[in-house]
Amino acid sequence: MIRKNGPIDFEINAYTSSSVSTSINFWTQDRHTARLVFKISKDGVPLPLAAVTGKLVLVMSDGSRFIRDINIIDRVEGQAEYILSDQEIKHYGNVQAELNLYYANDQSMSVHQFSFNISKSLIDQDVVPITEYYVDEFEALRAKINELYEESIQTIDELRAKFEDLEKIETKEGAKAKVAAALAAAKKYTNDYAETPDGAQDKADATLKKAKDFVSEFQKMKITTDSGMPLISIKDTSVSILDAIINNGLGQGTFYAIARSKDLPNNRSFRGFFHMTDSTNGKASFGWVYATDYVNNIYTNYLNNNVWSGWDRLLTEKDLSSTWNQVTLVTGTTKHFAGNPLKFSIRLNSLHLRGSFDGIPANDTVIARFAQKPSGTTAFGGTTVGSYGTARLTLGVDGSLKFDGLNANDNSKVTRIEINEEIPLW
């Protein structure tokens, strides 16, 4: 969509001049293209516009007055816009304007008064606009009254179809007079109040207050369904949870994904929460995700300009203050040395091994199996006791600890293997 932008930066404080004269100039032929773009800041940083309704007051050079809702395009960065309507752009001359903000907690403030110009295009030289008044809320009221009027006409038509003796009904002057009086009163009410600035302003204020009271009682954007279930539920292992969150666009919410869904940090089922901002073409480009698997591992992932940072697991108190546990050896392969049995501990996403085992198993024998698994097969060494030398062991991606063999001065004299090793699990 092509726009003719008029950017305006406002710094909210009590020291700036009462009105800013901008160099913005539109033309009466700028239909659907004349766009005011507001960037609002306070104390040098963008002013968040959460739970805010913006109103723009336009006073034209011919006395016409319009009170319009603005469109907030970025609530985090304090950005809003207003596109002048066909009715407004035809009122050429200097325009006095004021931007006001109304908060859900009954606070309000005048952001700034400013002015801009609308020049008369050559093609409009013979066009003289008529003085107009327009308030957004009461155009809706006008539409409702017109709707009631149309319903009255429809009711009369239905009576005409039902009753053959319609002429006798219509000749009852009292009934006809009441119908005519009701229609006249409805039209007069519309003309007198919907277009009178003072009356419209009072009703606009009352309507706005009711809207604020309503918003304050309910969450402005849902994070669950009406029944409390996650907004996004993935039950297909071929579907990416990250794509689903991006495609959800702006806002926040909860999600659920079954085990082995695409783009999860591991193969477990996950529940989590997301917050997305800066939607482009209906898709988010910035945001973050918190996800928890069913054994309470917590992961985060950050979306920055359409690129995910990757999952990071949050370390718990258990990770930071781990204990030593005796390794369960596969029966019949070897046994613990009583004076220093083989033990393991998990700390900062690493598997630590220390201690020793008696008896030398056959080469390529799996002597233990761990629930903790490295992302790649890891080979490491142990020290032989009984004859000087080394033993080779590997921890596989399936968690199996395997004895590969040894190399000592005299292999026949080796009685046990000492291990002191740290193995990364990422």
Sequence-separated (6 or more) residues with CB below 8 Å from residue 16: 112
> What are phi and psi for residue 211, nearest 5 degrees?
-65, -40
For residues 310 and 335, state if they share a domain.
no
Mean pLDDT within 404-412: 96
- Going by C-alpha positions, the residue among 250, 244, 245, 242 that lies closest to residue 281 is 250
119-123: long-range contacts, CB 8 A cutoff, minimum separation 24: 119/25, 119/26, 119/27, 119/28, 119/92, 120/27, 120/28, 120/92, 121/27, 121/28, 121/29, 123/29
- Write out pLDDT tens, residues 221-273: 678 887 778 888 888 889 998 998 888 877 888 899 998 889 999 888 999 99
For residues 75 and 23, state if they share a domain.
yes
Burial state string for 215-246 with b = 16 or more CB within 10 A and e = fewer than 16: eeeeeeeeeeeeeeebbbebeeeeebbbebbb
Q: Which parts of 252-386 fold into alpha helices (H)?
A: 317-320
Q: How confident is the model at residue 166 (pLDDT cuts 50, 70, 90)?
A: very low
Mean pLDDT of the chain, nearest integer = 84
Q: What is the H or E stretch that residue 214 is in?
A: helix 197-217
For residues 10, 13, 19, 23, the Cα torsion angle rounded to the nearest 10 degrees is -30
Q: How confident is the model at residue 117 (pLDDT cuts 50, 70, 90)?
A: very high
Asked, for residue 290, whether it belongs to a domain, the answer is yes
Using the 3D structure, point to which of 105, 131, 157 is the last residue of a domain: 131
For residues 310 and 346, state if they share a domain.
no
Here the CATH number for the domain that contains residue 369 is: 2.60.40.1830
Contact 350, 422 (CB under 8 A): yes
Euclidean distance between CA atoms 355 and 348, whole angstroms: 20
Query: CB atoms < 10 A from the CB of 206, how many?
Result: 11
As given in the structure block, the two tokens for residue 104 are 């859900």
- Write out pLDDT tens, residues 179-209: 777 777 766 666 665 555 666 667 667 776 7
> Domain containing 185: what range?
136-217
User: Higher model confidence: residue 178 or residue 120?
Assistant: 120
For residues 18 and 127, state if they share a domain.
yes
As given in the structure block, the two tokens for residue 136 are 């957004």
Question: Could you tell me the pTM of the whole model?
Answer: 0.35
For residues 178 and 247, state if they share a domain.
no
Using the 3D structure, point to which of 113, 131, 149 is the last residue of a domain: 131
Here the CATH number for the domain that contains residue 117 is: 2.60.40.3350
Count of the separate structural domains present in the chain: 4
For residues 26 and 121, state if they share a domain.
yes
- Burial of 50: CB neighbours in 10 Å, binned 0-12, 13-18, 19+: exposed
For residues 302 and 339, state if they share a domain.
no
Asked, for residue 226, whether it belongs to a domain, the answer is no
